[in-house]
């Protein structure tokens, strides 16, 4: 037998490696923008054609490259940003791996033009399949322009894997915003198919936020600014009244790098605590800066997670800083505040976080800056929790007690999977509501316990399915059309969903500049709630959008069903309850929500009799 192992040819090895870094047009956009920032540019222009599939070009006025560097830049592991392993712990630049340009050159046709201030002429290099095809001098201003054309032209499998243009464009806009938000001192613009989408003049962070997220935030931002020896935080949070039903406007940056952190997000939400309603999301753009040695950014290049040396300190700090800012805002609403030094002395910040440190942190002056009424709630909730626990634990302690559901789990679980045989319609006198959340109804051999919200979700979902197959859901005209302003990202998303939404009874039209006009909604949506309904639907949709197994439409249906369903806590009339039950059992799959939660359970009279020794 001959030996069988061979080295992969360079171009194939490069293409495989590129897959790690350049997954879609937006990843290339991020890399090119970051390179321009690292080059010290004060003006960065991004041009996109065909959602980046045909062209992505970044033009900057940064320091440019020498002829040798320009050729070198496309080699794998070629970087000017680190020289040895120690440098990894003091990274001040956005890039450092030396992989981006090599990856881009492996999967697109690239034209680089670059000139340094000290050089007479610039140089233009064309590259295809990781090989230089052409090189010549050009006359140009100092700076760099990198154009990448026909992304994945040589990797058709990847090209076919790309999403629709609106979807890829949405990812590009996301990346653009993340970089533009971190560097308000740099001019940024974005054009798509020759049309300008963003034109962001240089200015303060506050101005940049308003430019990007919209005028609604003007005069509605509270500045967050705290400094300690360990780390500092600057940025803005939206005043409570600007919070939205959709999570879009939330940004964390660590050393100017955008990160996603559910953990730190939780810290901000905790700081807002009772100031905003449940299901509301406050805007924030917070910049945490700390010694690069305290974080590990050496994770995967396209991942946005970050590891902190001690995450809990950062959590406590973020929560305190936001609380502090909000507390001051409630006293002096229109001013930007000077910080006081109290956070510096907060144990949570200056020392490692242990259980007893936690309690001392919570009794510190900073922690007490928020209002008394909130604290009263805090205590109240806690005592409620105690009762609830008692209630839950006591029956379990009595071992001879057989829980109601026991019968369900053992001999008769299949009973819950069939619609109960109920020939007659549910008659309204025989239905009862419990806790404004459950409906109880007698049947031949026992009773059903229906969860109203789950049941309604199923009903709506099937209604939507029918609506796209055949007859559209009728829209009710709104008395007053309302306009909604969305972030650029949400606006691209809503554009994508428009045709289906129209079929489902929304009268919705784009109105330029990320705005839409709603002039009608399905009958279930109450007048005056149009805006809310759409924002909530978008939020829910985005929540599903990482779920690749669902189609766009499926996600929309699930989001709308969830969002429009009658919530627990809603008191229903007898008539509404029997209507709900009749609708439920007219469904094709009445027994569960689209997500598989049960809509009802059946309980047998026999079981009750047994329990009571009858
Ligand atoms: P990294 O950014 O990790 O160093 P890249 O592959 O993105 O790796 O870039 C390689 C090198 O090319 C950079 O280290 C930098 O020296 C040079 N470079 C890339 N883009 C630019 C630019 N826009 N202006 C000046 N130099 C650049
Ligand atoms: Mg780079």
Helix axes 488-503, 165-182, angle to 10 degrees: 150
- Give residue 365's pLDDT band: very low, low, confident or very high (50, 70, 90): very low
Pocket test for ligand 1, best of 14, 20, 27, 38 (most atoms within 8 A of CB): 38
Nearest C-alpha neighbor of 366 from the set 333, 318, 308: 318
- Is residue 27 pLDDT above 50, yes or no? yes
More confident residue, 111 or 75: 111
Q: What is the pLDDT of residue 377?
A: 26
Alpha-helical runs (H) found in 276-429: 311-331, 342-345, 347-350, 355-363, 372-397, 406-409
- Give residue 303's pLDDT band: very low, low, confident or very high (50, 70, 90): low
- Is residue 500 pLDDT above 70, yes or no? yes
Q: What spacing in Å lies between the alpha carbon of 98 and ligand 1's midpoint?
A: 7
100 within ligand 1 shell (Cβ under 6 A):
yes
Strand pairing report for 231-238 and 446-451: unpaired
- Is residue 335 pLDDT above 70, yes or no? no
75 within ligand 1 shell (Cβ under 6 A):
no
Nearest CA to ligand 1 atom 7: 100
140 within ligand 1 shell (Cβ under 6 A):
no
Residues 551-569 pLDDT 10s: 788 888 888 888 888 888 8
- Give residue 354's pLDDT band: very low, low, confident or very high (50, 70, 90): very low
Which helix H or strand E contains 49, and what residues bound it?
Answer: strand 43-49
More confident residue, 342 or 266: 266
79 within ligand 1 shell (Cβ under 6 A):
yes
27 within ligand 1 shell (Cβ under 6 A):
no
62 within ligand 1 shell (Cβ under 6 A):
yes
- Is residue 235 pLDDT above 90, yes or no? yes
> DSSP for 295-312?
EE--S-TT----EES-HH
- Is residue 362 pLDDT above 60, yes or no? no
Q: What percent of the chain has pLDDT over 90?
A: 34
For range 202-210, the mean pLDDT: 94
158 within ligand 1 shell (Cβ under 6 A):
no
Q: What is the pLDDT of residue 550?
A: 75
Q: What spacing in Å lies between the alpha carbon of 69 and ligand 2's midpoint?
A: 14
Nearest CA to ligand 1 atom 16: 80
Q: What is the pLDDT of residue 136?
A: 97
Q: What is the pLDDT of residue 256?
A: 92
Residues 370-387 pLDDT 10s: 222 222 222 222 222 222
- Is residue 535 pLDDT above 80, yes or no? yes
Q: What spacing in Å lies between the alpha carbon of 143 and ligand 1's midpoint?
A: 12
81 within ligand 1 shell (Cβ under 6 A):
yes
More confident residue, 339 or 292: 292
| Dist CA 260 CA 245 (whole Å) | 19
Strand partners, 166: none
Strand partners, 521: 476
> Per the CATH hierarchy, to which homologous superfamily does domain 395-614 belong?
MutL, C-terminal domain, regulatory subdomain (3.30.1370.100)
Task: Out of 51-60, 279-288, 582-591, pick the least confident.
Answer: 582-591
Calculate the alpha carbon distances from 22 to 53, 148, 171, 603 in Å.
12, 12, 13, 55
- Please indicate whether the domains covering 10-200 and 205-328 agree at the CATH topology level: no
| Dist CA 341 CA 589 (whole Å) | 60
- Is residue 270 pLDDT above 90, yes or no? no
Q: Which atom of ligand 1 is nearest to the CA of 143?
A: 24
| Dist CA 155 CA 475 (whole Å) | 46
Structure tokens at 490: 């949400």
Q: What spacing in Å lies between the alpha carbon of 10 and ligand 1's midpoint?
A: 21
Q: What spacing in Å lies between the alpha carbon of 8 and ligand 2's midpoint?
A: 25
- Give residue 100's pLDDT band: very low, low, confident or very high (50, 70, 90): very high
| Dist CA 452 CA 576 (whole Å) | 10
Tokens 């039209």 belong to 509
Residues 42-56 pLDDT 10s: 999 999 999 999 999
98 within ligand 1 shell (Cβ under 6 A):
yes
Structure tokens at 82: 């680190």
Parse the chain into domains and list their residue ranges.
10-200, 205-328, 338-388, 395-614
Ligand approaching nearest to the C-alpha of 98: 1
- Is residue 439 pLDDT above 70, yes or no? yes
Q: What spacing in Å lies between the alpha carbon of 73 and ligand 2's midpoint?
A: 10
- Domain covering 10-200, topology: Heat Shock Protein 90 (3.30.565)
Structure tokens at 553: 């439409």
Alpha-helical runs (H) found in 108-237: 156-161, 165-182, 205-213
Pocket test for ligand 1, best of 72, 80, 179 (most atoms within 8 A of CB): 80
Q: What is the pLDDT of residue 511?
A: 77
Tokens 């999570």 belong to 247
Q: Are 42 and 187 in contact (CB under 8 A)?
A: yes
For range 314-330, the mean pLDDT: 87
Q: What spacing in Å lies between the alpha carbon of 35 and ligand 2's midpoint?
A: 5
39 within ligand 1 shell (Cβ under 6 A):
yes
What CATH architecture does domain 205-328 belong to? 2-Layer Sandwich (3.30)
Task: Out of 6-15, 120-129, 169-178, pick the least confident.
Answer: 6-15
Q: What is the pLDDT of residue 409?
A: 30
Nearest CA to ligand 1 atom 14: 79
- Is residue 487 pLDDT above 70, yes or no? yes
| Cβ-based neighbour number of residue 222 at 10 Å | 23
Q: What spacing in Å lies between the alpha carbon of 21 and ligand 1's midpoint?
A: 14
Ligand approaching nearest to the C-alpha of 144: 1
Q: What spacing in Å lies between the alpha carbon of 28 and ligand 2's midpoint?
A: 10
Residues 216-234 pLDDT 10s: 888 899 999 998 888 899 9
- Is residue 124 pLDDT above 50, yes or no? yes
pTM for this predicted structure: 0.61
Pocket test for ligand 1, best of 35, 63, 105, 257 (most atoms within 8 A of CB): 35
Nearest CA to ligand 1 atom 20: 35
- Give residue 352's pLDDT band: very low, low, confident or very high (50, 70, 90): very low
- Is residue 262 pLDDT above 70, yes or no? yes
Q: What is the pLDDT of residue 119?
A: 97
Tokens 């200056």 belong to 350
For range 320-344, the mean pLDDT: 57
Nearest CA to ligand 1 atom 8: 98
- Is residue 13 pLDDT above 50, yes or no? yes
- Give residue 539's pLDDT band: very low, low, confident or very high (50, 70, 90): confident
Q: What is the pLDDT of residue 426?
A: 55
């Amino acid at each position: 037998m001959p030996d069988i192992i061979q080295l992969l040819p360079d171009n194939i090895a490069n293409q495989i490696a590129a897959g790690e870094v350049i997954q879609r047009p937006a990843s290339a956009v991020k890399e090119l923008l970051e390179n321009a920032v690292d080059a010290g540019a004060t003006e960065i222009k991004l041009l996109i054609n065909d959602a980046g599939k045909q062209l992505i070009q970044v033009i900057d006025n940064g320091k440019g490259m020498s002829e040798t560097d320009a050729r070198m830049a496309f080699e794998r592991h070629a970087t000017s940003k680190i020289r040895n392993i120690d440098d990894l712990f003091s990274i001040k630049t956005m890039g450092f791996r030396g992989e981006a340009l090599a990856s881009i050159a492996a999967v697109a046709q690239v034209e680089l033009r670059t000139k340094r201030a000290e050089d007479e002429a610039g140089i233009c290099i064309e590259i295809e399949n990781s090989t230089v095809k052409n090189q010549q001098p050009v006359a140009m201003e100092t700076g760099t322009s990198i154009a990448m054309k026909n992304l994945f032209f040589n990797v058709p499998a990847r090209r076919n894997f790309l999403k629709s243009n609106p979807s890829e464009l949405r990812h590009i806009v996301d990346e653009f915003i993340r970089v533009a938000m971190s560097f308000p001192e740099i001019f940024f613009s974005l054009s798509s198919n020759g049309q300008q989408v963003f034109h962001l003049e240089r200015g303060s962070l506050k101005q940049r936020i308003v430019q990007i997220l919209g005028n609604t935030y003007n005069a509605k931002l509270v500045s967050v600014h705290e400094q300690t020896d360990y780390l500092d935080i600057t940025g803005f949070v939206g005043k409570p009244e600007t919070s939205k039903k959709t999570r879009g406007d939330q940004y964390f940056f660590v050393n100017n790098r955008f990160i996603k952190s559910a953990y730190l997000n939780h810290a901000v939400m905790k700081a807002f605590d009772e100031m905003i309603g449940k299901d509301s999301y406050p805007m924030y753009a917070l910049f945490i800066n700390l010694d690069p040695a305290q974080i590990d950014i050496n994770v995967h290049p396209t991942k946005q997670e970050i590891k902190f040396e001690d995450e809990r300190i950062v959590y406590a700090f973020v929560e305190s800083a936001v609380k502090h800012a909000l507390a001051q805002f409630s006293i002096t609403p229109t001013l930007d505040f000077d910080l006081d030094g109290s956070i510096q002395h907060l144990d949570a910040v200056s020392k490692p976080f242990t259980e007893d440190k936690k309690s001392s942190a919570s009794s510190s002056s900073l922690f007490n800056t928020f209002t008394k009424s909130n604290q009263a709630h805090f205590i109240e909730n806690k005592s409620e929790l105690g009762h609830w626990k008692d209630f839950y634990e006591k029956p379990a302690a009595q071992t001879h007690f057989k829980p109601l559901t026991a019968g369900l789990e053992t001999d008769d679980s299949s009973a819950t999977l069939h619609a109960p045989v109920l020939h007659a319609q549910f008659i309204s006198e025989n239905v009862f509501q419990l806790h404004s959340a459950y409906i109880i109804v007698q049947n031949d051999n026992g009773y059903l316990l229906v969860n109203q919200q789950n049941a309604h979700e199923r009903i709506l979902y099937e209604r939507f399915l029918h609506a796209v197959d055949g007859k559209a859901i009728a829209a009710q005209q709104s008395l007053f059309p309302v306009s909604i302003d969305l972030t650029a990202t949400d606006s691209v998303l809503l554009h994508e969903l428009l045709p289906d939404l129209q079929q489902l009874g929304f009268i919705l039209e784009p109105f330029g500049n990320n705005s839409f006009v709603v002039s009608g909604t399905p009958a279930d949506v109450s007048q005056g709630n149009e805006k809310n309904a759409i924002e909530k639907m978008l939020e829910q949709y985005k929540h599903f959008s990482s779920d690749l197994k669902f189609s766009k439409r499926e996600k929309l249906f699930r989001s709308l069903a969830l969002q429009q369903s009658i919530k627990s806590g809603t008191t229903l009339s007898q008539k509404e309850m029997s209507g709900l039950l009749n609708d439920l059992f007219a469904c094709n799959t009445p027994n569960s929500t689209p997500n598989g939660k049960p809509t009802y359970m059946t309980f047998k009279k026999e079981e009750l009799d047994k329990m009571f020794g009858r």
